[in-house]
Amino acid sequence: MSKTIISSIYCDTYEQTAVDKAVFKAINSLGVLDKIKPGSKILIKPNLLSDHRPDEAITTHPAIIKSIVQIVKSKGAVPFIGDSPGNILKGIENVWEKTEMTSIAAEAGIRLVSFETSGVKEMPVKHPTVKSISVAKTVFDFDAIINVPKLKTHTFMGLTCGVKNFYGCVPGIRKIEYHKMAPSPYDFGLLLGELYGILKDKILFTVVDGIEGLEGNGPSTKGIKRKYNIVCAAADAVALDTYITQCIEKNYKKNFFIKILKNYGDTDYEKFEFKGDGVANFNFEAVKLPITKILNMIPVSLARFAGKYIGRFLWIKPFIEEDKCVKCGQCLKSCPAKTIIKTDKGIIYINEENCISCFCCHELCGYKAIEIKESIIAKLFIRLKKNNK
């Protein structure tokens, strides 16, 4: 049985020639380019969280997408770019434009595909609280998928990379509803694993845009931009996530999400075959993790059955900074628990009693108006964790 290949290339700029070289080298090392068949329809799936400029390091950079489009076309296949952004308050066209996907598509003469308008296909899942998941029907119309996530920390899941990026195949408001149905990071991780399992056979490979990404309280405007200087590729997104988790957290075996993903791909890090540049070449030292990482330390049984009791004392929750809030209403629309309230005077606030700490509002606020606060016990727990490092 052949080893799982992880191909990592150093790149510290988005200058197109340098990106083209790094992306091709990363993909070519996998030995998968011959799987791109002439005439086949290939979906390129970036991370287009919301309407942000490429230099904010929140969405997949257009230079990476342009490189992959060129590779697909060179093999005689037909590329498409598609996603379902979390924030389409101003319309998906605004997201395409702001992330520069519009110009990439126009230059290459290819279509942008909105997952919101194609209808859905209900797919059964094995999950303790969710029976099926809605996947954009158009995703199944393509012959293959190339996954192009952004390397970022994530307030809810800890990290967002290869597997998490497929949540963008769930269209529109349905993404919000599943947060309510699977409110703990563990339960949500189980759902992401099932979604990946549904799409796995269609995935050609994953290429991570990690030239610039986020650390701290990502994956959006409250994250801190960081140059990781890496373009990384693998045929198995689970293996790629295992590699990135090891690079950042230094102990992938303790990560709850990697434990879940063991059922969907290769997580045997010690047996991977590494090609390209070594880990020491990249900027993975002392990466700041989200303060919400504490949520993943709570045992699953407690999170599911006793959450309402421990939640009185041990909690991390979002709150709205009134002086930064522009009253756009995106947080109201993104809250699965419907716990964000707008008063008659137009003031928006979060009813903490009903908040499920999914941080959807924090993730989708484009104005840095939603911050995170911890209970006294949570602060002590975090401090103890730091002192034990």
Domain ranges across the chain: 5-281, 291-387
* Cα 224-195-73 angle, rounded to 5 deg: 75
Q: CB of 164 within 8 A of CB of 192?
A: yes
Encode pLDDT of 226-268 as tens digits: 999 999 999 999 999 999 999 999 999 999 999 999 999 999 9
State which of 12-21, 89-98, 311-320 shows the largest mean pLDDT: 12-21
Q: Which whole number is the average pLDDT over 141-149?
A: 98
Distances (CA, A) of 7 to 69, 246, 252, 320, 370: 19, 15, 18, 41, 37
pLDDT at 307 over 80: no
Please report the pLDDT score of residue 386 as a whole number. Answer: 57
Closest CA to 303 of 292, 291, 295: 295
Per-residue tokens: 68: 């992959």
Q: Which whole number is the average pLDDT over 279-302?
A: 81
The CATH architecture of the domain made up of 291-387 is 2-Layer Sandwich (3.30)
Encode pLDDT of 174-230 as tens digits: 898 999 999 889 999 999 999 999 999 999 999 999 999 999 999 999 999 999 999
User: CB burial class (10 A; 0-12, 13-18, 19+) of residue 363?
Assistant: buried
CA 234 to chain centre: 16
Please report the pLDDT score of residue 370 as a whole number. Answer: 92
Per-residue tokens: 370: 């939603």
**In this structure, which topology does domain 5-281 adopt according to CATH?**
Rossmann fold (3.40.50)
State which of 151-165, 299-313, 369-383 shows the largest mean pLDDT: 151-165
Rounded CA-CA distance 388/383 in Å is 9
Assign 306 a pLDDT band (cuts: 50, 70, 90). very low
